Amino acid sequence: MRVLIIDDHALFRIGLQELLTRRDITVIDAVGDGAEGIRLAQENNPDIVLLDLRMPVMDGLTVLRRLREIGLTMPVVMLTTSTEERDLVESLRNGAQGYLIKDMEPDEVISALKQIVEGSTVVAPELTGVLAKVVQGGGNEPLPPEDPFTELTPREREILCHVTEGQSNKVIARNLGISDGTVKLHVKAVLRKLGLHSRVEAAVMAVEHGLTHHLR
C-alpha cells in the first residue's frame, strides 16, 4: 500500500508517517501544503491519500474537490479531529472514501485503510450514529424533494442501494448472483447517468434523497 499524507500539523504528520512505515506501509511523501499534496498525488498516483480537513490556505475539502476535478480516482480519506455532521456529509458528498478521527487507535486506522483500499467506505466508529441519523433523514438539512434517479433502471437502483451500504463490487455480485464485471458496468452506468465521479458520491446522493427507503 502506497500512501500520501497531507496534513499541516508537522508533529502529527511525522508521527503518522512513522506509524505507517512500521506497519510495512509505504509513505511516498508527507506534506503540509494542499497544493503540494495535489501535485504529488498527480505525479505519484498513490493507492490512498490521507488528508487533514482543517488546513490553512487550502482546506481539506478544497483539496479533495480539486483531486476529483482533475480526474484522480484513488481513495481519499479524511483524517481529522472534527466530529461535526456537516464535515462528515460534505466529505462523503465530495468523494471521500473514508472519514477517520485522529484519536482512533493505530490498529483501527490501519484496519480502516486496508478496507478502504479494497473498495469499502469506512467511517470512524464514533460517527456511525451521526451517519445513521443522516441516512434516516434526521440530519440538519432536509432531504431534497426531487428525484435525480429517474434515468436509472430497476437493477441500477438496486445496485446503488447496495453501494450505499458500503458494499464492494465483489460483495454486491455475491448478494445478487451476478458477476463482478456486471456489477462494475452497472456502477459505471449509474455514475454516468448521475454525473458523478465516485461511488461514494452516488451513495451520499442516494442517502440524501431517501433512495434506500424507496427500495425497501
**N-terminal to C-terminal alpha carbon distance within the chain:** 37
Assessment of whether the complete model's pTM goes beyond 0.75 = no
Q: Domain segments of the chain: what residues? A: 2-135, 154-214
Q: Give the H/E segment covering residue 108.
A: helix 106-117
Answer left, alpha or beta for residue 151, where phi above 0 means left and psi between -120 and 50 means alpha: alpha
Which residues lie closer than 8 Å to 49 by C-beta, 6 or more apart? 3, 4, 6, 37, 41, 67, 74, 75, 76, 77
Q: What is the CATH number of domain 154-214?
A: 1.10.10.10
Which residues lie closer than 8 Å to 118 by C-beta, 6 or more apart? 168
**Fold (CATH) for 2-135:** Rossmann fold (3.40.50)
Place of cell 431517501: 210
What are 112-171's pLDDT values in tens digits? Answer: 999 898 888 888 887 877 776 665 555 454 444 456 788 888 899 899 988 888 888 899
What pLDDT does 212 receive?
A: 60
Residue 73 is placed in which grid cell? Answer: 480516482
What pLDDT does 208 receive?
A: 74
What pLDDT does 147 receive?
A: 67
What are 55-91's pLDDT values in tens digits? Answer: 988 999 999 999 999 999 899 999 999 888 888 888 9
